[in-house]
Amino acid sequence: MEKRHIRVRFAPSPTGPLHIGGVRTALYNFLFARKHGGTCILRIEDTDQNRFVPGAEAYIAESFKWCGIAFDESPEKGGPFAPYRQSDRKTLYRDYAESLVEKGFAYYAFDSEEELEKARQDLSVKGTFQYDGATRKRMKNSLTIPPSEVQELLDSGKDHVIRLKIQENEEVRFHDLIRGEVVVHTANLDDKVLFKSDGWPTYHLANVVDDHLMEISHVIRGEEWLPSAPLHVLLYRAFGWEMPEFAHLPLLLKPDGNGKLSKRDGDKLGFPVFPLQWKDQATGELSCGYRESGYLPEAFINMLAFLGWNPGTTQELFSMDEMIQVFSLEHVGKSGSRFDPAKARWFNHQYMLRKNPAELAVFLQKELTARSLSFPDKYVESVSALIHDRAELIPDLWKQSWFFFKPPESYDEETVKKKWKPETPALLTDLVNLYRSLPDFSAHTVEAATKEFLVALNLGMGQIMNPLRLCVVGSGMGPGMFDIAALLGIEEIIRRIEKGIQTIKSI
């Protein structure tokens, strides 16, 4: 058989913000397509009008732009199989559903809500109700009423749906690239609705029709769709279409491994489960995103790739191109992957460390602009170089360096209590005089002079360095004190020491 061109799709429903599990599914599709010289498409599955959320599609597009997953065909970009939004393909689906009725694989069902409710009460076994072979025979549909009556009902515009007729007593088998052989007995399937009374196809019909029309070769999607797969297999058979390969990806689990990762876990443990921030229109609730929390897109992607896939080596840091080289579905595991927020931060830290000071300075400049502060690039780069390894996330850059851009407004009480002694002001005054006498104010000169001063007075390092840092930084944090001093310059250092002497009182 001729080898099919690889065509994969990510097919989200715009029912809210995209969960990181969805981004991971898209990523695996993207890596798989790129690896095999194939095509990766984005298709928006918006046939469920009740669950449509305005803004969700734009959110999906922006998320992928941010994290660097570029689709070859999409609603935005178009392509040879356009349109890529199912609501724009609405008129196409009814004929497909009717063709299955003609072939005897589907039927019209005219049951009203009340009739369905009654059947649910009469027929449910242990609380579960299946619209299956047994139910079907008792209901009002084109298999139980004469064709003339069916035609009359259709002509009169009576509400109806089209249901797939599941054969009784059959085994549905298919091969899953991750799970291997999957076997489901038709006794566990019900006659799913393919076409609804509101004129829209269901997910199942639209999904299969579009995968066929868009010549999808591999369906790579989350495990939550595994129960739908046998139904899809039956649909392919009924239509007489070649089936794509299936690969159902493992679930993303909560950090403790108990159950699916949810938005609530993120809120509780303080990490995002969405790529970008999202504001719920109805409740006004704001959910944080990786972008806004200060993750780098390349770190986010690297971290996500490892939730379910491993390259089979000890290497953990991969650029998108490197991942494309080594990605394979064989290295995707069957069992769920536990999300580890600390590991997510670790990935980001690794990528922060790989940035040079000029790149980090760009982030700091944004913070400065937001605070209406202005400093030359060169200075900001020097600051970045000093705090370079202290920032796990982008906002840490500012948290670790703000005192290079403005003097402290308060002094940490604990440090004052421990480090500020009655003799401190006099010592610092002598230090100021010493600094004024120096030929230059390089880190090296300041260090040598400060140490000499300590030796001459027989003082320990901490007796002067801690109060000095308190005056300059406001607490005990920050990089090497002499580097800070050299960068801030003699005037600013003296100003801060003098302000400290006036303001800080020993407790």
Catalytic residues: 263
With b meaning 16 or more CB within 10 Å and e meaning fewer, what string describes 157-171?
eeebbbbbbbeeeee
Judged by CB under 6 A, the stretch of 9-17, 26-34, 73-81, 478-486 that binds ligand GLU is 9-17
Contact set for ligand GLU, span 315-354 (CB under 6 A): none
Min CB(204)–ligand GLU separation in Å: 9
Min CB(410)–ligand GLU separation in Å: 50
Min CB(241)–ligand GLU separation in Å: 15
Min CB(63)–ligand GLU separation in Å: 14
| Backbone phi and psi for residue 494, each to the nearest 5 degrees, phi listed first | -65, -40
Min CB(185)–ligand GLU separation in Å: 22
CB 264 within 8 A of CB 19: no
Min CB(35)–ligand GLU separation in Å: 19
Give the one residue of 13, 74, 202, 348 binding ligand GLU; rule: CB under 6 A. 13
CB 192 within 8 A of CB 164: yes
Residue 142 sits in the site that holds ligand GLU (CB under 6 A): no
Contact set for ligand GLU, span 21-60 (CB under 6 A): 45
If residue 23 lies in a helix (H) or strand (E), which one and from where to where? helix 20-35
Min CB(11)–ligand GLU separation in Å: 4
| Interface characters, 164-203, with ligand GLU (x: CB under 6 A) | ---------------------------------------x
Nearest residue (CB) to ligand GLU, 129 versus 225:
225
CB 370 within 8 A of CB 327: no
Nearest residue (CB) to ligand GLU, 225 versus 241:
225
Judged on CB neighbours under 10 Å (0-12, 13-18, 19+), 267 is: middle
| Beta-strand runs (E) in 339-447 | none
Residue 11 sits in the site that holds ligand GLU (CB under 6 A): yes
Contact set for ligand GLU, span 203-222 (CB under 6 A): 203, 207, 221
Residue 453 sits in the site that holds ligand GLU (CB under 6 A): no
Question: How do beta strands 252-253 and 337-338 pair?
Answer: parallel
| Interface characters, 108-137, with ligand GLU (x: CB under 6 A) | ------------------------------
3-state helix, strand, coil in the chain (%, to 5): 50, 10, 35
Min CB(176)–ligand GLU separation in Å: 13
Stated length of the chain: 507
Give the one residue of 6, 7, 8, 12 binding ligand GLU; rule: CB under 6 A. 12
Nearest residue (CB) to ligand GLU, 28 versus 363:
28
Nearest residue (CB) to ligand GLU, 47 versus 302:
47
Residue 265 sits in the site that holds ligand GLU (CB under 6 A): no
Residue 160 sits in the site that holds ligand GLU (CB under 6 A): no
Contact set for ligand GLU, span 225-264 (CB under 6 A): 225
Judged on CB neighbours under 10 Å (0-12, 13-18, 19+), 476 is: middle
Nearest residue (CB) to ligand GLU, 12 versus 17:
12
Nearest residue (CB) to ligand GLU, 60 versus 320:
60
Nearest residue (CB) to ligand GLU, 201 versus 474:
201
Judged by CB under 6 A, the stretch of 7-15, 360-368, 406-414, 489-497 that binds ligand GLU is 7-15
What SS3 state is found at 331? helix
Residue 223 sits in the site that holds ligand GLU (CB under 6 A): no
Judged on CB neighbours under 10 Å (0-12, 13-18, 19+), 145 is: middle
Judged on CB neighbours under 10 Å (0-12, 13-18, 19+), 370 is: exposed
Size of the site for ligand GLU (CB under 6 A): 8
CB 93 within 8 A of CB 201: yes
| Beta-strand runs (E) in 282-341 | 286-287, 337-338
| Beta-strand runs (E) in 49-129 | 106-109
Rounded-to-integer distance, Cα 277 and Cα 292, Å? 6
* Contact partners, residue 232, CB within 8 Å, separation at least 6: 204, 207, 208, 219
* Contact partners, residue 158, CB within 8 Å, separation at least 6: 110
Nearest residue (CB) to ligand GLU, 7 versus 221:
221
The site for ligand GLU (CB under 6 A) is made up of: 11-13, 45, 203, 207, 221, 225
